[in-house]
Structure 1
Amino acid sequence: MDRKGYSIGEVSRATSVNIETIRYYERIGLMPAADRTAGGNRQYSDEQQKQLSFIKRARNLGFSIEQIRSLLVMADENQMSCCQVKDMTASHLKDIQQKIAELKHLEDKLQVLHQKCQCNEGPSCPMIEDLFGEG
C-alpha cells in the first residue's frame, strides 16, 4: 500500500543512500524530483524509494550514472530488451575484468618494489630510486 509519502530521511535510512546523494540524483535528473509538503519538505513515494534502491544496487555493481539512466529508461518505458541489458552488462563486465587485470599488474609491480626495500637506515632507498627510474 502506497503511503502518502516518505521524508528524505526515511528514504535515506531505508535505502542506505546518503541524503546529499539523493538530492544529487534529483538535480541531475536520475530521479524525478520529489513532491513537496506545504512546508517545503520532500515526500517520496514507494515507487521513488524502489527506484532509489535500483540505483543504489546498480551503482554498487559499478554501473555509471549514464548506464543507470539507460537502464531506467528501458524499464520505465517498458521497452526493455533483455538482450540490450545483457549487452550493456557484458560491456560493463569486460571493463571490470580489464580493471582487475590492471590492478593485478599494479599489485605485482608494487610487490616487487616492496621486496626491494631492506629498510636500511641510510639515505638510499631502492623504492624511491625505482620510482625515479634509477633502480
Structure 2
Amino acid sequence: MSAETVTIGEAARRSGVSAKMIRWYEETGLLPPALRSDSGYRHYSEADLHTLRFVRRARDLGFSVEAIAELLALWHDRARPSASVKAIAQDQVADLRRRIAELEGMARTLERLAEACCGDSRPDCPILDDLAAGDAAPPPRRRRRPGLPGR
C-alpha cells in the first residue's frame, strides 16, 4: 500500500467516524469500497477521509443517509445547480422544525403529567395511568379530595 493511505483505525481517528460506521458507510455506498492490502486490510486515501468528514458533518446536522447520498453526488458534480443543494437543506430544516415541535409537545405532556402526580407515598400515579392508557391525550387535572393534604 502507498504511504498516502491509512488503515481504518487511523481513518476513524482522523475523520471522527468510528471504524464500525466506516464499514457501514462502505456497505451503504456512501463511501466507495476501500483499497485492500494483500492481507485484506482496508486502506483509505485522503479523498476518502475528506468524504468521511463530509458524511460526519452531514450526520451531525441530522441528514438521512438518503439525503447524504444526494448531497455527496451534488458535491462531486462540479456542474451542480446550487438550487438542488439548497432544496435538500431546506427540507432538512423543515424536518428538524417538525421534530422540535414534536419534542416540545412531548415535554409539555410530561410536564403536565408530572404536575398532576402527587409524588407521595400513595400508589395513584397519573403518569403511569397515562402510559397504561396508551393515548396521547393530556391527562385530566386531578382534584384534591376533601380532607387530604395538598399535593
Identity rate of aligned residues, in percent?
A: 34
Aligned to 2:89: 89
Query: 1:43 Cα deviation (Å)?
Result: 0.9
Q: TM-score, normalised by structure 1?
A: 0.91
Give the paired residue count: 134
Decide which structure has the larger Cα Rg and report it: 2
Aligned to 1:128: 128
Q: Out of 89-98 and 125-134, give the one that drifted further.
A: 125-134
The code of the aligned residue for 2:111 comes to: Q
CA contact (8 A) 1:35 1:44 kept: yes
Query: 1:117 Cα deviation (Å)?
Result: 1.2
Q: 1:53-108 CA deviation, whole Å, 9 max, x = no partner?
A: 00000000000001010111112132322111111111110110011011111111
CA contact (8 A) 1:3 1:46 kept: no
Structure 1 unaligned segments of length 5 or more: list them: none
Q: Distance in 1 between matches of 2:54 and 2:29?
A: 15
Aligned to 2:24: 24
Q: Distance in 1 between matches of 2:52 and 2:8?
A: 11
SS at structure 1 position matched to 2:6: coil
Query: 1:132 Cα deviation (Å)?
Result: 4.1
Query: 1:28 Cα deviation (Å)?
Result: 1.3
Q: TM-score, normalised by structure 2?
A: 0.82
Aligned-CA RMSD value: 1.7
Structure 2 unaligned segments of length 5 or more: list them: 134-138, 141-151
The code of the aligned residue for 1:32 comes to: P
Aligned to 2:44: 44
